[in-house]
Structure 1
Amino acid sequence: MVAPRKAAFAEESAEVEVLFANMDKLKSLTKKIQGSVNRLETSGKSVQDAIAPIYSNTQKLQIANTNIDRMITAIDRVREPLNQRGREDQVIKAGPRKVGMQDYIASLDRTTQALAGLRQSNLKSNQNAMAELTSLIKMGTKQLEDVFRDMLREDARPLEPLQYITKDKSFPTLPEDKSSQFRIIHSHTAASYAQTSSRDIRDTPTIKVYSEIRGEYITICLRNLAAASISTARKVTADSVYKKGDNGIGHYAKALEGLFIAEYESICPVFSREEWGIVFTATSQNALNEFTKTLQTLNTHVINNLNTDCFLGYEIIEIVSNLSIRLESRTGELKRPIADSLKPVRETSKSSLGKLLDDTRNRIQSLVALSADCSTVPVTIETMTRLQNMTSYLPALTSIMTSLGDGGWNSSATASSNSIPTMKSFDVGADGQQLFAHYALDTIDTLLSNLENKCRVLIKGKHLQGIFIANNVSIIDRAIRSSELSSLLTAVGPKLDSWKKKSENQYKDSWQDIMKILMSDTIYTNRGGRPHSGSVSGAGVDSTTVVKSLSSKDKDAIKEKFRSFNNSFDGFLVQHRALKMEADVRASITRTLQETIEPLYSRFWDRYHEIDKGKGKYVKYDKPALASALKT
């Protein structure tokens, strides 16, 4: 047992020895490796210290190289516009007529873009190049401007507006093919101008050229109509009253409207939307200035002939106001300039209302005599004719009166309204036609009240004064009924009836002496034959019986009454027939006399006509004869 155990221990001991020997070798190897690592680290540090500066310099060289490449690229970009200037210079200097419009505009666009690129680079070294390109663009723009101008002049030959407005034809616009060319030229010119100038868009050459040439074209087309408007205002006779349409202002305004609308339609295809109003206003300016001058001349004429030609002022207001409305609806422009041109005429027309009232007063006050036959005075007819004529201008008059306010036409109110607005001027709910009716009633009241005051001074006898006023009331009433005034002056009826009744009563009072003669037989009422109470005509009374019952003294008194009646009646009849009465006045007066004189005379005649036994010595008129005499 011992021998095998020793053998096993010996074997294990040998293995341990081998293991220890290997470990010694491993330790020796480890030491060698550690020494190699230490030597390697030392060498790495040496290499790193040697290579680090080289690596850093390499990075810097790479960055520098990149920057150089970029600089070269930038220089190439900077040099490109300079190189391009040389290429475009020949094209632009040759002009659009030689190289063709399309190539020329393309060259100008490239030059404009080159200038924009130079400005973005912001290099001082490019200043000279920028100046050269700017000069080149200006040259090109000027040549395009010349082409634009020449093309516009081809279609700017003046025309005769009357040929269009009388035939209700539209005025010509620019041809469509030319409009497209104009648009191309303008858009490129505007872009080039924006690069070379910082001025307002309204100074763009093509806008200025367009407004200049087309504005002159419109002005020349309208020149004859402007002259005609002034010449047709001249009066042939000093007292002639202006009639609607006599002046050429209507044709002038219609032609102005037609040309302006045609021009606006020509502008829209050529210019951009934001430029339409600017170009249209500039193009219209000269023609509007001439129109304003014409209105000022006509306004001076109206002022100098206010009583007869105030209607021209009203017509101008209506025509020009409608013109302004229609142009604004079609173009959205010119409302304010046209309104400003109308201001002088409008102010004159506003003041005319009060001045016409003053004229009516002054003309009546200046009368030194009235006709002995009580006929009317011209001022009545002229005043009513003026009111009749005013109904033809109601749109203008109602506008004026609305701005004045009710009663604002009085002299003091009109004078103050020119400087200080009143609350009535802001009455937006005012009825213009009602205001006109008030003005007409004021005119009639002014006329009649002043005529009444004047006739009291110049006509002796209330009965004659009554006939004079009645005749004037008749003229006024007839003028109202026979015109548009009838529908406007519905409230005037009671006022005129009051004047008519008052004047007729004044005339009827002059017959009181005759009526007293016929009513002064009451001294016989206690005698036989007195008519029953309520019997006016004396019907059924036996004149023979009544006369027989009278004493000689009473008979003589009755005879004297007949003689007095005959003399007075004949005298009044002669005077009555000699008076100038309007037909309706005479009919009304005759009816009134018949209703008062005939019943009284019939009663008197029925009782006492047998006083001269039918010989006609005392009783000159029987009842039919008296009635006939009153009718004539």
Structure 2
Amino acid sequence: MSRDVFDENKGLENFQRSLGSVAKDIEEASDILMFMDKRLGVLEESTSVIRGDVTNYNRVSSNIYDTLKEMEVLQVIHSNLPKIKAELNTSDKNDASITEKIQLVMKMLRVLARYYISLQSSPLHFSTKTQRKVEIALSETCSRLSSLCQKVLQTHAASSLKKTTTILDLDQTWAFPTETLQQFMGLIQQFDNEVLYPISYSSDISSNYVKTKSECLVQLLNSLFSQSEAGQLNEASKEFVLGKEEIGIYLIALARILSATASELLQLYDTETSQALYQRIGKNVISTVSNSIHQCETAYEQQSSLENHILFPLIHCVKITEDYIQMNMPFEDVALFDLVSGVRKEVEKIIISSLSNLYNGYCNSSKPVALSTNGISDIARGIMLFLTRLCQYKDSFYLLESIGDWGWRHEVTADLPQSTTARELAQNYIMDCLLSHLNSVEESANAIDTLTWKKGIILLNISVYFESACVESEIATYLDDEHYNNFSELSQKYSSMYMDVWRQCSQNMLDATYTKAKEKPNMSTKDREATKEKFRNFNEQITSIVENHKESVRFEPSVAKFLLQEVRKTVLPLYQRFYDKYFTSDFTKYKEKYIRFTKAQLDSYITEAFSPSLS
């Protein structure tokens, strides 16, 4: 056991010695490592300096390379600028189409835009001068493009003006020629999408489009009126213009051209942009014409109700305009709607007033009526024209209905017949106006003791004119036989009044004695003198009547033909018998002094009284 302990102690000592040796070795290694650490720190500092030098060298090398590259780009730009300008100038002189010229300008703008962006980021301080040259080139080329674009818009406007002659032909679809304009707008929009230069040609073109289109539409309206006056519209448009007022033509033309403009915009832009641009165009055009419309409305208010017959076709035009807008306008146009609605309201007010004023101011006026035997008076013609237009344009009937039965009269009596239909209402108004005017004329004639025959002329002219005008116009669809019988009875009455002067004249030819032809009567001195007096009176009266007729009496042609036959039947038979009886008698030695007319000469002389009315 002792030996084992000994061996064990010995082994421990050896182990301790070994550990001590190892510890010493570790200490020595640690010292070495400490020394190496110090040396490595010094080495690292040296390496860092070298690394920085290398980095700086690389940076300088890169800068030099970039500068060389920028200088190369600058040189290319500088050398290409004159070439671009020369190519653009050459294109101005050749026969290329305007589309080809626009495409070339856009191509050059794309190049210049790239140059501009490249120079903006250039680090070279000496590139500023070249950058300024590029800016000038861009500005000049942009102006060139704007000029070309303006030509396109103006050419489009000019082609639109050629369509003036058919604006009022409502049977034709009316639109602007948009194919070329669509291609042009497509080029502009594509250019904006591709070019990074910070400008929007679409915006510029849109503004120019609004301006050019607005001016074009105003020119269209002006051209419409000048061509209308010159008779240069197509046949359908000419027919439509007849009897129409300026306002009515304005409204329908506005509806046509603005609807066409809205449709054109939708082919060029999206819906939102189209609406925005349309509002600007519509506002410009409407503001231009609204002043003229308001001036016309003021004139309507100030003119007489006789002249306001022109407002019935205007109501018709308003209705056509409203229907056209509803069917063809893709956008809601408040300004146009307000304009049309305003015209309707103003015209309605004036017509309602005129319906009453026509009756009370001209048909049943308490004031004396101007009398003339020289044809139909302007008042009678005005009354008939007013009534004819009312019946011709049934769109206005609701205004007569708004007045109601006999509402046009200041005083209404219980014995007046009431209407149950619009037709009966029209009958009442028409006949009340016409018969009341005849009555007013007769009262005025009686008030100044007008000769019966002259009074007959005045009234007969008016009565026959009223009847024939009713038969030949739309009024005929509203009158019945009983109404025409009224005119016939009045015409017979007035005809009899007129024939009074011829009957009095022919009374001179009456003779109580009868002598066969070729039988020479044994006349006393008293009979001779009486016969002379009869011839003298007849000659004086027939001359006075005929000369008076030739100077100041004018009939409606149909009246003149009728009355000429009546006068012949009244005068000629008596004269012929008187002539035959005394031509061969010895009542005087100077027969040519008393017998001034042969039978044929008297017929011709009487005809002269009516010739001015028949020619």
TM-score (norm 1): 0.48
TM-score (norm 2): 0.49
